[in-house]
Amino acid sequence: MAPAAKPVRELTGLRPADLGPAILASTEPLLLRGLVADWPAVAAARTSPQAAIAYLRRWYVDATVNAMLGAPEIDGRFFYNEALDGFNFQSMRVRLDAVLDELEKHLANPTPPAIYVGSTTIDGALPGFRGENDVDLGPRDPLASIWIGNRTRISAHYDLPDNLACIGAGRRRFTLFPPGQQRNLYVGPIDLTPAGQPISLVDFKHPDPERFPRFAQALEHAQVADMEPGDAIFVPSMWWHHVEALDGFNVLVNYWWRQSPDWMDTPNNALMHALMTVRDLPPAQRAAWAELFRHYVFEADADTAAHIPPAARGLLAPFDDNASRMVRAQLLKRLNR
């Protein structure tokens, strides 16, 4: 990575019981060195990749998973095809033990096919695994997922939830960028994506300065974390992150949760609707709507509706589950007209 990239702030000596709001509500990424070093999965990985695979097999119960398979020529980079109307890999439903067999078969292969099992619910694929390898996040109710593969590269993308990612096997490099760098990261389509989130079109291993000249500006804001088995990283909501798995067998366990009530819908829906209804307005009208969004959404405060009696504030009053249900029903009715 370019010299401009600085290391992610590192904390050492922490255990899962030490994770409080100062860490789990941070607005900056944090490298938590050795946080899950006591996991049996990590101990197996430190013995050998074969031992790590054998440890996962202990929990396997005939589960099928979504797997991605790419030819050796993609060099581990799961991405688009040349026309950006499809992808350079195949997606398939396969038995997890068959994926482990394939990964083990190619451990000594210097140019293996790219094999990747993304975001898979642990309790469904490997029930019992979390009994020995888990992080208790207290009152949060995270989605706990496992990611398994070989040397792969996942393009820079953002996630809406906060993310605690723990390295179970293999080494990984996270390269992170703060929100607002999308222009410099040259983000691709938002409605056709390799795994659900828009991704940077820049190949971090071979960046093209002529095609993507502003990527150099993104690197000025980059933070990098090189991680070993037992390490963890906290990735705040909406931070762009590129993830590279550096060894022939890799396992990552991550926990996703939101710092917002369950009734809140994803802002991605609002973005899509705004693209349809606001983006292509005449410039003066679009500017007027920008002011309305600023007033009612992005800079809303106690004064926004202070001049309206509380009982008459309607949508300007604080939302709750009931109000959210009512608005969702009204929106569905309008969208289905």
Return the closest-CA partner of residue 61 out of 11, 124, 1, 153: 124
Average pLDDT over residues 179-183: 97
Delineate the domains of the chain, giving CATH numbers in brackets: 6-257 (2.60.120.650), 267-336 (no CATH)
pLDDT reading at 48 higher than 90: yes
pLDDT tens-digit profile of 99-114?
999 999 999 999 999 9
What mean pLDDT value characterizes the chain? 96
pLDDT score for 37:
98
The proportion of the chain whose per-residue pLDDT surpasses 70, expressed as a percent, equals: 99
Give me the mean pLDDT over the 283-289 stretch. 97
**pLDDT level of residue 4 (50, 70, 90 thresholds):** low
Check whether 202 has a pLDDT greater than 50: yes
Q: Is the pLDDT of residue 206 over 80?
A: yes
pTM above 0.85, yes or no: yes
Question: Residue 70's pLDDT is what?
Answer: 98
211 pairs with which residues across the strands? none
DSSP class of residue 316?
G
Q: Among residues 155, 218, 220, which one has the least CA distance to residue 185?
A: 218
Helix (H) or strand (E) holding 257: strand 250-257
pLDDT one-digit tens code per residue, 12-29: 999 999 999 999 999 999
Interior angle at CA 137, CA 46 and CA 167, nearest 5: 20
pLDDT of residue 19: 96
**In this structure, what DSSP letter does residue 332 have?**
H
Helix residue ranges, H only, the chain:
21-24, 40-47, 49-57, 96-105, 122-125, 129-132, 182-185, 215-219, 267-277, 283-293, 321-335
User: Within a 10 A sphere around the Cβ of 210, how many other Cβ atoms?
Assistant: 5
The dihedral region occupied by 230, where left means phi > 0, alpha psi between -120 and 50, and beta the remainder, is left
What is the rounded average pLDDT of the residues 30-43? Answer: 98
Q: 252 burial class (0-12, 13-18, 19+ CB within 10 angstroms)?
A: buried
